[in-house]
């Protein structure tokens, strides 16, 4: 199903810049401060192009390729706003989410890197967005293939699998009850809060989207990555996203 129609006079309400200020490829962390960190430490000539609601968007170059890095905020509603506006109003072609997740597979350790090859959500986001009753969505095959190839070039180990996109922070909920409701033919390896919305909206526009995640906590461990590390110490996954999206 395609993207919902928008009234012709509507302009983007959450990204305040000209269409030329956003590059056609976007790396998208959840935390706007992580977007700032990426811009300051990985991009050349990075310029803050939008800061509405402190959701920072920077455009610069990485290895000579123009790109934008922008925060998405937490959860599907926030992701859906920014992803929709980027695809619809700014003509973005590719988005790679680079975020964090909770490990739900005993084989995963902190800080392993995951590439989502599908996302499961038990709610009605897709139906509310465009009448699609699906609960399982896929990323771009082409972009995922590129990320896998790039990970091998960089020597970066990644695990692929299905992530569960929850509508609240899963460790602050009836965690086991949620997992027990997942269909038995779907093996969930991690939990996060944005990928389903990104994949579904990208598909509605026939655009490309992928999701790279770093495990920062786990159902099987009492260790948690600190808030400071979550903001600034995901360099391996950030590099993988940047190297992949420019190819």
Contact predicate 35/70, CB 8 Å: yes
Per DSSP bridges, beta strands 57-62 and 65-70 are antiparallel
Of the candidates 203, 204, 225, the one whose C-alpha atom is nearest the C-alpha of residue 213 is 225
Which residue of the set 51, 206, 217, 229 is catalytic?
Answer: 217
Helix and strand element counts for the chain (H, E):
8, 10
Cα(19)–Cα(153) distance, integer angstroms: 34
Of the candidates 230, 240, 181, the one whose C-alpha atom is nearest the C-alpha of residue 30 is 230
Catalytic residue flag (residue 217): yes
For the stretch 86-104, what's the b/e string if a residue is b when 16 or more beta carbons lie within 10 angstroms of its beta carbon? bbbbbebbbbbbbbbbbbb
Percent helix, strand and coil across the chain, each to the nearest 5: 35, 25, 35
Q: Which stretches does DSSP call E strand in 86-173?
A: 94-103, 113-120, 136-137, 158-165
What are the residue numbers of the active site?
217
């Amino acid at each position: 199903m395609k993207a919902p129609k928008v009234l012709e006079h509507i302009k983007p309400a959450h990204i305040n810049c000209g269409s030329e200020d956003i590059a056609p490829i976007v790396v998208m962390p959840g935390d706007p401060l992580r977007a700032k960190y990426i811009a300051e430490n990985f991009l050349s000539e990075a310029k803050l192009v939008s800061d509405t609601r402190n959701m920072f968007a920077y455009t610069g170059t990485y290895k000579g390729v123009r790109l934008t890095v922008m925060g998405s905020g937490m959860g599907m509603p926030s992701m859906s706003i920014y992803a929709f506006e980027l695809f619809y109003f700014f003509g973005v072609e590719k988005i790679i989410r680079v975020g964090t997740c909770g490990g739900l597979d005993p084989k995963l350790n902190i800080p392993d890197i995951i590439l989502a090859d599908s996302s499961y959500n038990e709610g009605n986001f897709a139906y509310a967005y465009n009448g699609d009753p699906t609960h399982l969505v896929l990323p771009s095959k082409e972009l995922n293939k590129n990320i896998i190839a790039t990970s091998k070039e960089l020597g970066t180990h990644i695990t692929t699998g299905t992530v569960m996109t929850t509508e609240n922070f899963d460790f602050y909920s009836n965690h086991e009850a949620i997992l027990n409701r997942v269909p038995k033919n779907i093996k969930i390896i991690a939990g996060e809060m944005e990928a389903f919305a990104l994949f579904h909206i990208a598909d509605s526009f026939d655009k490309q989207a992928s999701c790279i995640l770093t495990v920062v906590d786990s159902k099987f461990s009492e260790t948690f990555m600190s808030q400071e590390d979550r903001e600034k110490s995901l360099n391996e996954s950030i590099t993988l996203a940047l190297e992949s999206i420019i190819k």
